[in-house]
Chains A and B, each alone.
Chain A
Amino acid sequence: MSSRTGRGAREPGPPRGGAAPLIARLLAVAVTALPSAARAEQPPAAPTPQPPAAPASDQAQPAPPATPGPGDKPTPAPAGGEGDELTDADFGVVAPTVSVAPPRGRESLDWIDLAVGLALSSRKFDFESAPGMDAARPRGFRSGWSWRPGATLELRPLARRMRGSAIEGLGMLAEYGRTLGRASAGEPDLARESRLHVALVYRFAVGTSDVQPVFGASAGYLRQQVHILDTSIALPDVAYDALALGADVRIPIGTRRVALCALAHYLVVGDGGELLRPETYGDSSTAGLELGLSLEVRALSSVFVRLAGSYTRYSIEFNGTGMLSNPGAVGATDQYTSGTVSAGLAL
């Protein structure tokens, strides 16, 4: 028994299961003769990813190679998860890896967007005459450029509470602006113009990136009113009450901090004030279109500056049964142009 025991006695060595690393070690020695840029500097028995600055093994590591080695780039773990499985890395072959960053979800829509601004606004009103009746056309009106301060508030209370749901983009919009006086000093103020817009707004952010567009649709009430101050101007006041149906888009330009915004509102006019009363120029049909373009820059994460331009045009058809009706006034166009600089908060 003793002899058997003595014959069976073993020298201290690697534990069972260490045969594979041993073979790998031998192979690794063999491949060092190969002029490969991918020579194995990593311990062959440690196929798990090895960050360069924090070796997982307690075993002393050789000095970093001059050329990129496995220690410079994480290598994938073996599929089986067992340490005794041979992999390409065991033979000094670095499997190509592609590191893909997880998609970054787009931030939720701002729940509040508040801006105050100053606009330069002008109005141009022209009658349209029947063919050949230009001589009978009443005079139009030019307001000149006027200062119009204003404010815009948009609230989306569901943007944070119901993020990811279909109604997170539902919100409310309110805008108001009113002219204060002529931009040219010393010139008389001919008219006072005000504009009020309140609407339900729905915004829909496309895709998963913040640099993808946000589309919007809105429906609301718009009132645009002009009161002629100069009594020498024989043009009736207007006060358009309209259903405003709109669509808009915000397109980030490379980054979410800079964006181009465009909007269009179709205005179904119900009432138009003194000008559109049947006794003035007869029954009328009126509709309007408002187009806007703006550039928004977010200097800080929640502070923005906006440069905007807008154009609104009302088209009026008279049926010619009013007291002021004549062939020179079978219709009219009422145009408003404005440029605005505004600043605000988006949270």
Chain B
Amino acid sequence: MPESRPLAPARGLRGARRSRARVAPACFLFAAGLLLPGRTGAADTLSGGSVSVESRVFDPDGAPDDAENIGLALTTKLEIKHRARAWRLGLRGFARLDALDETRNFFDLEEANVTYTLGPVSLVIGSQVLNWSTTEAFHPSDVMNSRNLDSDLANPEKLGEPMVEMQVRFLQGSLSAYYMPVRIAPNVLPASSRLSFLPPGVVELGDALWIDRDGTPSDGLFAHQGAVRLAQTVGSADIALHVVDHSDRTQPTFTPDLETGELRPTYHTVTQAGLNYVEVFGGLLFKLEAVMRTFRAPDPTASLLITPQRNHEAVAAGLEYSWTTAVGAQATVILEGQAVNQSEAIRAQLDPFQRDVLVGYRHFFNDVMGRDLLVFFITDVERPNEYVASAQYSQRLTDQWSVGALVRSLHLFGRDVNQVDLTLTRSY
């Protein structure tokens, strides 16, 4: 029987709709889970997790009066995997309790799914977090999961998406079909958040408004959504094609609700066709994400004044050049860019990174402490005074303890945000 072993701390993005009432019990649940030994007694069960103390501090200059400039959160993660013959069960969750900024309290079950595998065919039922991204900063292809916008500005945490996935493996890749029956709204930022870029005068956003496939506005959580993705490795290239038809959560418009006086984020139904391409040329890595988005027009007879979302194309491309230094460290220079094909005024509304370039450098020290440094700078080619500058560093302290730090400065939508994060993590 294979020996169970502790897992690495759950990576990636997590989140859920804000539900303060559920957060506290969820945290107790996670804490209880983390008290379990890392090596469980069951034969085919793996479990792991981590507890982190996350602190962040913002420069108070330019902040709204009610903004919280300091955050101190306890974050717990738990992951359990169980395998029995052709069946697999996956559970991964995440909870955050902030002692100073209660708007950040959060819980999400990122993965809660059952997998049945029969030969080259797998069936997955349950919540999943998918990664369709190839580039470092710009991710036009990676739209399957909703996001927790109150997290990392450059790469917001993903929320688990309930779905049914059927995957067939063949040749050097697979073909996957997805059905998503539930619409998961993003966790939007409160107006008081330092990371909020709501226009002045907007106190708080209302509930999500969904535009159905026939253009009808809806509050319903359920809708038929689907996707197909073909991924293959051809020579030294990884190629993936996808088609998604779902409620888009990345590019909402805003609809005034005259009854409540609120501004409601409005998510439109979109059909997205896309290509991901990665190829290695010696020390050079080329990455490409290209998508074409076609939105359904809202019903013009609807009582609400709904702004339609514009069809457009987006392309993100990147080059990474890596080499090994004399002391054995891995150095990588990163150059990326993203362009949205629409008129200047419209593309500025579609994406804050509509004509942006990134220059970055990663230095992985390749030592036992796992020291890793990433520095990058993003600027808007059309509006160079909009920028994001970031430096991240992480390393292990012991086998179980690790520390990470982030320093970031940005200017977007006329606002300056300067931020320092420090995270101390104990993994199980």
By a beta-carbon cutoff of 8 Å, the part of chain A in contact with chain B is 206-207, 212-213, 215, 247, 249, 264, 266-267, 285-289, 291, 313-317, 333
Tell whether, in the assembled complex, residue B333 and residue A289 are in contact, meaning their CB atoms are under 8 Å apart: no
Shortest Cβ distance from residue A203 to the other chain B in the assembled complex, whole angstroms: 13
Given contacts A215-B333, A266-B384, A313-B381, 15 further A-B contacts (CB under 8 A): A206-B321, A207-B323, A212-B283, A266-B387, A267-B384, A286-B385, A287-B379, A288-B384, A289-B381, A291-B357, A291-B381, A314-B384, A315-B382, A315-B384, A315-B385
Give complex CA distance A288, B379 in Å: 9
Tell whether, in the assembled complex, residue A317 and residue B385 are in contact, meaning their CB atoms are under 8 Å apart: yes
B 394-428 to A, binary, CB cutoff 8 A, 1 in contact else 0: 00000000000000000100100000000000000
Give complex CA distance A286, B384 in Å: 8
Q: Is B377 an interface residue (CB 8 A)?
A: yes
The 5 nearest A-B residue pairs measured at CB:
A287-B385, A289-B384, A287-B384, A315-B383, A315-B385
Give chain B residues whose Cβ lies under 8 Å from the Cβ of A289. Answer: 357, 379-381, 384
Give chain B residues whose Cβ lies under 8 Å from the Cβ of A291. Answer: 357, 381
Give complex CA distance A207, B323 in Å: 8
Give complex CA distance A314, B380 in Å: 11
Q: Is B125 an interface residue (CB 8 A)?
A: no
Give complex CA distance A6, B160 in Å: 105
Q: A264-B359, A266-B379 are in contact. Are A313 and B323 (CB under 8 A)?
A: no
Interface of B is mostly: strand
Tell whether, in the assembled complex, residue B414 and residue A317 are in contact, meaning their CB atoms are under 8 Å apart: yes
B 270-300 to A, binary, CB cutoff 8 A, 1 in contact else 0: 0000000000000100000000000000000
Shortest Cβ distance from residue A105 to the other chain B in the assembled complex, whole angstroms: 13
Tell whether, in the assembled complex, residue B384 and residue A206 are in contact, meaning their CB atoms are under 8 Å apart: no
Give complex CA distance A287, B409 in Å: 15
Tell whether, in the assembled complex, residue B357 and residue A264 are in contact, meaning their CB atoms are under 8 Å apart: yes
Give complex CA distance A25, B385 in Å: 85
Give complex CA distance A249, B333 in Å: 10
Give chain A residues whose Cβ lies under 8 Å from the Cβ of B385. Answer: 285-287, 315-317
Q: List 19 A-B contacts (CB under 8 A).
A: A206-B323, A247-B359, A249-B321, A264-B357, A266-B377, A266-B379, A266-B387, A267-B384, A285-B385, A285-B411, A289-B357, A289-B379, A289-B381, A289-B384, A315-B380, A315-B384, A315-B385, A317-B414, A333-B382
Give complex CA distance A151, B283 in Å: 34
Shortest Cβ distance from residue B137 to the other chain A in the assembled complex, whole angstroms: 15
Shortest Cβ distance from residue B297 to the other chain A in the assembled complex, whole angstroms: 22
Q: A247-B359, A249-B333, A266-B379 are in contact. Are A313 and B384 (CB under 8 A)?
A: yes
Give chain B residues whose Cβ lies under 8 Å from the Cβ of A207. Answer: 323
Give chain B residues whose Cβ lies under 8 Å from the Cβ of A264. Answer: 357, 359
From B323, which residue of chain A is reached at the shortest CB distance? A206
Give complex CA distance A267, B411 in Å: 14
Give chain A residues whose Cβ lies under 8 Å from the Cβ of B384. Answer: 266-267, 287-289, 313-315
Give complex CA distance A340, B278 in Å: 34
Q: Which of B321, B323, B357, B387 contacts A287 (CB 8 A)?
A: B387
Give chain A residues whose Cβ lies under 8 Å from the Cβ of B411. Answer: 285
Shortest Cβ distance from residue B281 to the other chain A in the assembled complex, whole angstroms: 11
Best-surrounded residue of A207, A266, A316 (most CB of chain B within 10 A): A266
Shortest Cβ distance from residue A328 to the other chain B in the assembled complex, whole angstroms: 15
Give complex CA distance A184, B86 in Å: 76
Give chain B residues whose Cβ lies under 8 Å from the Cβ of A213. Answer: 321
Give complex CA distance A198, B383 in Å: 24
Shortest Cβ distance from residue B198 to the other chain A in the assembled complex, whole angstroms: 17
Give complex CA distance A264, B359 in Å: 9
Give chain A residues whose Cβ lies under 8 Å from the Cβ of B321. Answer: 206, 213, 249
Give chain B residues whose Cβ lies under 8 Å from the Cβ of A247. Answer: 359
Give complex CA distance A55, B340 in Å: 72
Give chain A residues whose Cβ lies under 8 Å from the Cβ of B381. Answer: 289, 291, 313
Give chain A residues whose Cβ lies under 8 Å from the Cβ of B387. Answer: 266, 287
Give complex CA distance A37, B134 in Å: 54
Give complex CA distance A110, B323 in Å: 22
From B333, which residue of chain A is reached at the shortest CB distance? A215
Give complex CA distance A287, B384 in Å: 5
Give complex CA distance A317, B321 in Å: 36
Give complex CA distance A240, B381 in Å: 18
From A331, which residue of chain B is reached at the shortest CB distance? B383
From A262, which residue of chain B is reached at the shortest CB distance? B335
Within 8 A of A (CB), among B117-158: none
